[in-house]
Structure 1
């Protein structure tokens, strides 16, 4: 059963779309379920001014994308890096256990977009690791 917040973000997603001249773009997927998430960032002076997403996946994947974008807009790149899948789930009042991987997709798509931003601007973001293409790599570690 999904929370009201999950249903709201699925039915009325925030920040859906793309940013043509994005400063950072990150794409991750999950081969097991077929979900793919792409996050676009517009950054000025180290602060995320705009963020959009495109997600191919289930309702939980759309909802976690929507919530994650709301959580990083207006934040510094360092603050955005600290947005975890657990924080996304809490902000949505939880997810069913079989949908936890959707929140991990959102976290990793943000990290991948931050990585792309850092590479394009030749900067280092403390604690940022190279992105994964498939979150199964992370799920296997945990």
Structure 2
């Protein structure tokens, strides 16, 4: 029974991270920490590293902390939470950094309807290079209109 609950907690943590990504992107990255996210919208740098990558580092620390500090008696869901956050981070990295922004030249010519919709949605997000009036802040779950041809 405990393993079943841990699987559910893992799936819940993964799913909640999509909301956290949307919330953080809309209200933190395009809000009071725009100074860290701005270089992701304005490619005025030559570095592979962006200040925006600090958000990834933050969630990696949260994930590692949950995994490292889980305890069989007091925080037994910690590992499942940490692994759910890690799995979302991997999915985010593959979709956002590799597939969409081509930080590594992989998955360039996909014809998958879901991948095309996610790419369209993110392209619309980047169409606005300012802090305000952005759209489509999610990553894996985007409005249905982006999946239409």
> Same fold, TM exceeding 0.5?
no
TM-score by length of 1: 0.33
Bigger fraction of residues in helix:
2
Bigger fraction of residues in strand:
1
Larger radius of gyration: 2
TM-score by length of 2: 0.32
